[in-house]
A and B are shown apart, each in its own frame.
Chain A
């Protein structure tokens, strides 16, 4: 897809995720909004997947280690046609398969996540299997920055470098916030780039809400043979909804009627703007 269309798509996904969270009265709004651009780039442009055959052996794998931000993922999987869009209405309702975390009963989801610090070890296993089987798929693993405090990530980081998994792409949604405040107040991470580099990873730091940078970066991975890649995606938590941006409380704040209205309007303006620009060109 054209960059312009990807940006429009991301805004639409943001509208959808606000809508399902508002309807269900539960959800992780901030982290879902911050990673929407990353997921849009992956699911509409970068990853080699087949919606008609979700278990296709050569498919690229995506693991949502920050499983709480599942709403953007549900909306994207529905939009891509992994399941009917209508089903989004069941999000978080009794007995649904669209629960508050990734659930592999749903086509398009590889693994169940939700407890933080599980995604990267799983992804190392998937990437290692590709190497052993001589397959060419890549594995993308999206982590939170607060999530970096779990030691399991660093155990996996070691293993990823040890096994020279250049088919493995770790992505950190570096929005600087977790639940109790900023990451640097809660459990300081800096210098994060240097830490990953010291663990043997090729680190690329980008604006994680820039569709251009995301697409460009993911296209070029692996940059270095024999090295796993860590994309440090600097994002804004709550991105795209002005009053949620950078506000810790929006981690699991649910938009009320008025906030939903305002959010949807802001995103619609963005879409109109982008569509207008598209026509000029």
Chain B
């Protein structure tokens, strides 16, 4: 079982790149511990900025740093970074075209028992609506490493959402082609397509395994970039498999499922199911309990897939 959370992978990757690239900077809002960035702060104090508990300020300062040629990585809890600072993200980052990477940590329902103020299940919807802002969710530690390297190379604004605890591996190594905006087909299949992003990718892979046992060949797409979205992969999946299920750790409004549906209905209408967090008061509990409550489990996905196919 993998014990390395994605936030730690981001820190390690930036640590190794920062040695060569003195413009890489990490910013924290009393969050260096939760973002696992303490080692970076210790190793490169000149490339680290602490702003205190001030999420609007952290984005504004980062935009100013980027304007002066720096490559800032903002590491702050996804719930606050994506909502509290959204105007700074819209105007100072996206509109002004500054090179700021926003890393939302402990996203989704990572902070399950802390309630709605700490759940981050609107962030994808909000970030996605901002012109020019890339939106990414890495599926495991290998992808997190490749994504971080790609983000250092990319000049422009991006919002990345990761969870809190270590997730089971999706890839066996980081030896695979990763391209921002290009979905990865993890399993070929012609009966139905399962699409996930971030930490739901492992879940749909497990669901596909269950379906296999029932004789159903499910295609599995890892949509690590929600914006720009890989429309080609979605249209092909709709055409070739006839049905799509999306699974996300996000409100069913405006997230992965909505993004995929927008492409499907306008290009290749097929039956779809959007699984995520419904529009109801947040329920508190451990991440796994919340997932179970909303049916974001391989067993339930398997059941829904069979229903969709037999329609």
Contacts and interface: CB of A to CB of B under 8 A. Distances in A.
A51 interface: no
B53 A101 contact: no
Contacts, number: 87
A92 interface: yes
Contact of A151 (B34, B54, B284): B54
Nearest to A144: B53
A146 B53 contact: yes
Contacts of A115: 79-80, 84, 117-118
Contact of B53 (A92, A99, A103, A150): A150
Contacts of A146: 30, 52-53
A179 B33 contact: yes
Interface in B11-38: 28, 30-34
Interface residues of B, number: 30
A41 B154 CA distance: 55
A112 B116 CA distance: 9
B118 A186 contact: no
B93 to A, nearest CB: 18
B51 A149 contact: yes
Given A94-B289, A114-B115, A149 B54 contact: yes
B165 interface: no
A103 B52 contact: no
Interface string A137-168: 00000000011011100000000000000000
A113 interface: yes
A93 B53 contact: no
Interface string B114-137: 111110000000000000000000
Contacts of A151: 54, 56-57
A187 B117 contact: no
B299 interface: no
Contacts of A103: 115
A176 interface: no
Interface string A94-136: 1110011101000000001111110000000000000000000
Nearest to A251: B33
A178 interface: yes
Contacts of B230: none
Nearest to B282: A99
A93 B115 contact: no
Contacts of B285: 93-95
Nearest to A28: B114
B283 interface: yes
A250 B113 CA distance: 19
A180 B32 contact: yes
B32 A150 contact: no
B198 to A, nearest CB: 22
Interface of A: 24, 26, 67-68, 92-96, 99-101, 103, 112-117, 146-147, 149-151, 178-180, 183, 186-187
23 contacts: A68-B114, A94-B284, A94-B286, A94-B289, A95-B283, A95-B285, A96-B284, A100-B111, A100-B118, A101-B114, A114-B115, A114-B117, A114-B118, A115-B79, A115-B118, A117-B53, A147-B53, A150-B53, A178-B30, A179-B31, A180-B31, A180-B33, A187-B30
Given A26-B113, A149-B51, A178-B30, 4 more contacts: A94-B283, A101-B117, A180-B31, A186-B30
